[in-house]
Amino acid sequence: MSPLASEETSEFSFLAGQARALHVEVPPVRRVSLPLPDGRTLSALRYGDDPVEVTLLHGAGLNAHTWDTTVLALGRPALSIDLAGHGDSSWREDADYTGRTLAADVIEALRIWTDRPQVLVGQSLGGLTAAAVAAHAPELVRDLIVVDITPGVDQSVGPAALREFYRVVDGASRDELVDRAQQFGFGGSRDDTARGVFLNTRVRPDGRVEWKHHFAHIAARLLTAAPSDVASPAATTGILGEHGWSDLGAAAAPIALVRASHGFVSEDAEAEFRTRVPSAQVLHLDGSHNLQETAPTALAEIIRTAVDARP
């Protein structure tokens, strides 16, 4: 029976099936939370009992569980953080979900939850956040792996496909949202996408199902606002992009960019990345933007190589 068919489905109900598919064991896993100085709470998943070696940051509109399959394939202690406004972490009243702002929470969490420099992996918005962490708290980051994002990608409200996806923030059922996610190439198999949708939605009092992360609702509002009501996308993109390039340039840790074959990083964006961060490694994987879901085993191998490269 699918976990979705059970009335006792929990956030960990899917792990056993994912582990069986990979022929691995399910590690100990628990949810942890951290009260922040401003009254918000940061939430995360802690995999394994040994000291954490890898910390994972998801993209906009996702949550910590997006990394489940990658972590199972990796087989190492890991921490997967719900960025502010996502998953079980508090929404921000100022709706500021830029990488540098999100990085402050991650830095606080790494100082509490880890005892050694991390292989810090960030996908999409999480990649820009990870770059800011590496730049502003270099003692916490051993290696930086940025997955399918560069500061050259439009950051005003996301790449074109993501902008269109967020025009619809609710549906009559989870199946309807699964159909839409697959239409836009987000997620892997239908079962994988259904799992992601279950973990990333809630049922409203009126019976409709909506994305539970703040980002979707903000993006939808921006997309339907009159042009005069929002900042110039070109100006916003320029500011955030330069922050991202500055953070990558300031990072002391070795950097790798993992580009998806069907993702958001174009050839021009990769070329700009190579020019601006010449010391970085650039790797290619076959998959869509959410490589942690569409190519988890291959991505896990890249992470494992970084973990094993140095003591």
Reported as type and span, the H/E element at residue 31 is strand 29-35
Secondary structure element (H or E) that encloses residue 183, with its range? helix 174-183
β-bridge partners, 285: 260
Query: CB neighbours of 209 closer than 8 A, spacing ≥ 6?
Result: 170, 171, 172, 173, 174, 176, 177, 201, 202, 203
Bridge-based pairing of strands 209-211 and 281-288 is unpaired
Q: Between helices 174-183 and 190-199, what is the axis angle to 10°? A: 120
Going 137 to 138 to 142 to 148, the CA torsion angle's sign is positive
Nearest by Cα to 265 from 146, 158, 153: 153
Sign of CA dihedral 39, 146, 78, 69: positive
**Model-level pTM?**
0.88
- Domain boundary assignment for the chain: 11-309
- The CATH class that applies to domain 11-309 reads alpha beta
Looking at residue 225, its pLDDT comes to: 55
Q: Residues in the chain with pLDDT < 70? A: 1-8, 154-160, 162, 187-188, 223-241, 310-311
Tokens of 258: 């993992």
Query: Tell me, what's the pLDDT at 237?
Result: 37
Query: What pLDDT score was predicted for residue 238?
Result: 42
| Catalytic residue annotation | 124, 148, 289
Contacts for 207 with CB less than 8 Å, ≥ 6 apart: none
Task: Supply the pLDDT for residue 73.
Answer: 98
